[in-house]
Amino acid sequence: MLPLELYERLAHLNEAHKPAKDGFYADTEEQRGILLAEVRRARDQLLAAFMAPAQLRWPDVETLSRETREYARRCDWTLIDLVALAASLRVGAAELSRRLAAPLLAYQALRMLDDVIDGHLDYKGGYQTFYGAMLRAHGADPARGLTICTAAALLAEGARHLDEPQALRLHETLAAAIRELHGIGPNERQDYLGMVDGKMGAYSSIIYGPVLADLAEARAVETFLARTFLVSQVINDLHDLDDDRARNQPNFWLLYPSTGEAATACGLHLDELEAAYTALPDSARPYGDTRLADLSGYALEVAKRSLDTIPVKG
């Protein structure tokens, strides 16, 4: 169960930053809509150009191509936070779409591979994954093969256009996936953090990095993003606690002898996140408020949703 002290801290964090987020969202509603539409257009255009030769040669892959496009659109929720960062930094729509089209293909491919590794048929009871669609249509073994091969093709196309830092993060992500498949090592907590840095940090940086390309204070924003990726995974682990325990999957909350010790460690990561927020440049501060409000709000929802995480004293 989530200790009351941690629950109250998350509630205070949400109260402190949500008004700023709401104001920022109201002020940038039109701008964010334009950014999102342009990024989606560029992504869809590149995806269509990539799939066209295969469809001409093998017309029977049309169903697979259509599901690839539909899955990309079902993943558009991942762009909402990215667009908020771009709006905060005042990145133009044309420039943002130029920077992001190819990295988004690589990112989508990595999500597809991760879904096979983790057996995700949908995301937390919401939209269906590509792997889930293939499994329902073709059965388990063909679904794995179709998902892996489609992801590999997307990854090859997206990687052709990545710059050196993005390519490095791609390699780190794949290394983290291999580490996850091998299991957490003897130094469990450090190995877990390294896996998260690759699985959440590295592959998220593939699409967040290009947004920061012209920012002089990029390092401060990168540090903040890295802290958010870790805290986000800790919250996801709280959501997935029972399932991960049953499947013997790595989980932050299972690395400690007690919930209290895990909560203390979570609090230290929140300390690092808040310190990174205070170091943000003024241009990124509205995004920082948005991210802190979203993370704390998500954590509170997870805590309330499960009887196992209802706040208790101690």
Domains of the chain by range and CATH? 4-309 (1.10.600.10)
Cα diameter, the chain:
64
Q: How confident is the model at residue 107 (pLDDT cuts 50, 70, 90)?
A: very high
Phi, psi angle pair for 3, to nearest 5°: -60, 145
Distance CA 66, CA 64 (A): 5
Tokens 């992500």 belong to which residue?
173
Q: How confident is the model at residue 246 (pLDDT cuts 50, 70, 90)?
A: confident
Q: How confident is the model at residue 310 (pLDDT cuts 50, 70, 90)?
A: very low
Q: What is the 3-state secondary structure (H, E, C) of 193-238?
A: HHHHHHHHHHHHHHHHHHHHCCCCCHHHHHHHHHHHHHHHHHHHHH
What would the mean pLDDT of 226-230 be, rounded to a whole number? 95
Q: What is the 3-state secondary structure (H, E, C) of 38-96?
A: HHHHHHHHHHHHHHHHHHHHCHHHHHHHHHHHHHHHHHHHHHHHHHHHHHHHCCCHHHH
**pTM for this predicted structure:** 0.90
Tens digit of each residue's pLDDT (9 = 90 or more) over 18-54: 999 999 999 999 999 999 999 999 999 999 888 888 7
Q: What is the 3-state secondary structure (H, E, C) of 248-306?
A: CCCCHHHCCCCHHHHHHHHHHHHHHHHHHHHCCCHHHHHHHHHHHHHHHHHHHHHHHHC
Distance CA 85, CA 290 (A): 9
Cβ atoms 218, 279 nearer than 8 A? no
Distance CA 42, CA 48 (A): 10
pLDDT reported for residue 160 = 86
Q: Please, what is the average pLDDT of the chain?
A: 89
Tens digit of each residue's pLDDT (9 = 90 or more) over 60-105: 777 888 889 999 999 898 899 999 999 999 999 999 999 999 999 9
Distance CA 91, CA 96 (A): 6
pLDDT reported for residue 185 = 63
